């Protein structure tokens, strides 16, 4: 099994420097990948251009994968997006994991002049165009010389693509495409059990007999201190935390990860941090415990 980690803090000082420092720490700890979300118009926590920030991280690291937990395709020109992803894949020597999504906030679509009802159609059309362009298919094929995307990505036939999906239609679309599915980090393990089974069935029905990667994103915090763990649980401030998060000592975390393996077929854990009020040193110590536990 492999493990990645999301950014655990952002918005407190120069955002690129802050995130690049976290990428360095995650690589030093031994994680396979470092992940950024995409969100718009959220004040100091906004990350509207995750590829630009991942490029800054690429310049400060050499091995760790660079992931987007939901790169929003419906609001983008597909050729421009394909170019940007290819450039990041080139400058990082093939380290991109492109988690793609549709988005859900109607006000965001209105700002970008996209009818919300068209988001699923635009998502699929844009992804198809990008995949063809990454493989060197002509963008324009007329009487003159064909126009080919340049540069092409390092990864062949194209960068790794995972689909962030929430809801039955989105899960069906991910399965039909034959691509790994990243679930909402807030859904219970029982809900995920149903969702991943549906995803596998949709994939099989579409002729995709096996999808090797089963990624699961969970809030993870590991500590030996009961007081610290209680503070984390208080900060998460939600019922049934154990249904959607892994908060406990190493033995508890090991048992929960084994449960995700058995019930979901987990092959890739994405550990989500950014817990309000928890000191940076404690979050890093938790990540180190997770790496030790998973022998990264």
Instruction: Tell me the pLDDT of the chain (296 aa) as tens digits.
Output: 999 999 998 765 557 889 999 999 999 999 999 999 999 988 878 899 999 999 999 999 999 999 999 999 999 999 999 999 999 999 999 999 999 999 888 899 999 999 999 999 999 999 999 999 999 999 986 667 889 999 999 999 999 999 999 889 999 999 999 999 999 899 999 999 999 999 999 999 999 988 999 999 999 999 999 999 999 999 998 889 999 999 999 999 999 999 999 999 999 999 998 898 899 999 999 999 999 999 87
CATH number of domain containing 269 = 3.20.20.30
Residue 143 pLDDT: 67
Average confidence score pLDDT of the chain: 93
Number of domains in the chain: 1
> Residue 251: which residues within 8 A CB-CB, separation 6 or more?
none
Per cent of the chain over pLDDT 70 is 98
Q: Are 250 and 231 in contact (CB under 8 A)?
A: no
Q: Which two tokens stand for residue 169?
A: 């239609």
> Looking at the chain, which runs of residues are DSSP E strands?
2-6, 33-36, 65-72, 96-101, 160-164, 181-182, 215-222, 245-248, 268-272
> Residue 250: which residues within 8 A CB-CB, separation 6 or more?
222, 224, 289, 292, 293
Which residues constitute the domain of residue 167?
Answer: 2-293
């Amino acid at each position: 099994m492999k493990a990645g980690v999301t950014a655990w803090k952002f918005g407190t000082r120069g955002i690129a420097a802050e995130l690049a420092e976290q990428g360095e720490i995650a690589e030093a700890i031994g994680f396979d990948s470092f992940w950024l979300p995409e969100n718009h118009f959220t004040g100091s926590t906004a990350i509207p251009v995750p590829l630009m920030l991942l490029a800054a991280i690429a310049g400060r690291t050499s091995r760790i994968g660079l992931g987007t937990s939901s790169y929003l395709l419906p609001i983008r020109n597909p050729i421009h997006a394909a170019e940007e992803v290819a450039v990041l894949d080139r400058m990082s020597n093939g380290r991109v994991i492109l988690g793609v999504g549709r988005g859900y906030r109607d006000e965001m679509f209105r700002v970008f002049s996209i009818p919300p009802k068209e988001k699923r159609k635009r998502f699929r059309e844009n992804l198809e165009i990008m995949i063809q362009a990454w493989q060197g298919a002509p963008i324009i094929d007329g009487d003159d010389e064909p126009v080919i995307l340049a540069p092409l990505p390092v990864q062949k036939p194209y960068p790794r693509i995972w689909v962030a999906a929430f809801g039955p239609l989105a899960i069906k679309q991910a399965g039909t495409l034959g691509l790994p599915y990243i679930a909402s980090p807030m859904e219970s393990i029982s809900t995920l059990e149903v969702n991943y089974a549906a995803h596998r069935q949709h994939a099989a029905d579409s002729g995709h007999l096996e999808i090797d990667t089963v990624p699961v994103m969970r809030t993870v915090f590991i500590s030996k201190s009961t007081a610290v763990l209680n503070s984390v649980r208080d900060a998460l401030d939600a019922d049934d935390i154990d249904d959607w998060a892994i908060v406990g000592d190493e033995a508890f975390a090991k048992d929960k990860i084994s449960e995700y393996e058995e019930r979901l077929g987990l092959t890739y854990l994405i550990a989500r941090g950014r817990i309000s009020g928890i000191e940076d040193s404690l979050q890093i110590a938790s990540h180190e415990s997770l790496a030790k536990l998973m022998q990264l």
